[in-house]
A and B are shown apart, each in its own frame.
Chain A
C-alpha cells in the first residue's frame, strides 16, 4: 500500500474512500493528467501513463458529450477480467479534478460509485481556494538545468 499526496487536503477523504469502497487504488489528478494524489496498491502500475491516459479518456468523453449537446456523460466504467476502472470528474474550488479508481472483484462498481459520491462531496468541502504563489525556483536555475539535461543526454 503506497500513498503519495501533493495536495495534503486530498489525503483524508482519499484514504477514507479507498477503505470504504475496497478499491485497489485511487488516483486524483488534474484534467491535464498531473497526479495530485494516489493511494493504494499501485506500486506495479505505471502511474504517469495511467494518469495521462485516464485524463485523456475523460477529456475526450467530455468533448464527445459537448458535440452531442450533453453537459457531461458523468462517470465512466470499464470492466476487465480482474480489474475494473471508474473514472469521474469532481468539481472543487480548486477547479475540476479527475478521479481514477481501480478496483478488483472484492468490491463492485455499484459500491465504488456509491462511495465515490461521498468522496467527491468530501473533496469539494476540503478543497481550499486557489491561491497565487511566489517564485518557486531560484533565478540562477539555468546552470543546473543545463547540467541535468546534459547528463540526461549523456553529454
Chain B
C-alpha cells in the first residue's frame, strides 16, 4: 500500500519485478540503476548467491520527482525466480503497490513463465490482495534473441496475458523496453492514487 506523507507532500510506492529464474528481473533494475543520475537514486542493495542469482531480493530506491505536487519515490524490488524460493518471494511481495511480470521470451521457457505467473497469482491472493485490482504490467524480455528461439509478443500474449494487461517487448540487457515498462507500471500505480483507492495516510 503506497505511503503518503501529506506533511512533506511525499508519496512512496513499492513495485515488485516478478518472473521465473533468469528472466531478467535483476537486469531491469541494473539497467535503470545505470541510467539514472546519482541524485535521483539510492544505493542498490542486492542479496545474491555466489553465482549472482537473487537469493532474497534486489532493492533500488528511485526519486521520480514532483508529480501533482507530491515528491514521488518508488522502491523497486525483484524476487528470486527459482521455484524453491517461494517463501522469500511471498515476503517481498507483501505490501507491493504494483507488479511487473518479466517473462522469458524463449520458447522453451514457456512452461516456467506459466508456472511463475500462476505462482504470482497465488501469492498475491495469500497476501490478501485481489489479483484483478493490483496494478500489473507484463514484459516480454529477451526479444533480441534469434527468432527461432523465441515466441513473438502476440504468441506470448495468447499464452500469458489473459487479463489484457499492458505488455512490452524488451531487451533488458541493452535497455530496450525497460523505460516503457517502468513508465507503464508507474502510471498504473499512480492512477490508483488519483482514483482514491487504498493507501496509508499520514
Contact = CB atoms under 8 A, between A and B. Distances in A.
Interface of A: 4-8, 30-36, 46, 48-49, 52-53, 56, 59-60, 63, 67, 94, 130-131, 133-139, 141-142, 144-146, 148-149, 151-155
Interface in B162-202: 179, 182-183, 186-187, 190-191, 193-196, 199-202
A52 B36 contact: no
Contacts of B17: none
A144 B66 contact: yes
Interface size class of B (residues with CB under 8 A): 35 or more
Interface stretch (B87-95, B134-142, B143-151): B87-95
A129 to B, nearest CB: 11
Interface stretch (B5-13, B19-27, B109-117): B5-13
A136 B199 contact: yes
A73 B37 CA distance: 41
Nearest to B183: A149
Contact of A136 (B11, B47, B56, B186): B11
Contacts of A4: 8
Interface stretch (B57-65, B100-108, B152-160): B57-65
A33 B1 CA distance: 11
A51 to B, nearest CB: 9
B194 A56 contact: no
A31 to B, nearest CB: 6
Most chain B beta carbons < 10 A, residue from A32, A52, A152: A32
Contacts of B68: 136-138, 141, 144
B17 to A, nearest CB: 14
Contact of B88 (A34, A48, A60, A142): A60
A153 B177 CA distance: 12
Given A32-B14, A136-B193, 5 more contacts: A35-B3, A63-B90, A136-B11, A144-B67, A149-B64
B94 A137 contact: no
B202 A7 contact: yes
A8 B202 contact: yes
Nearest to B10: A6
Contacts of B67: 137, 141, 144-145, 148
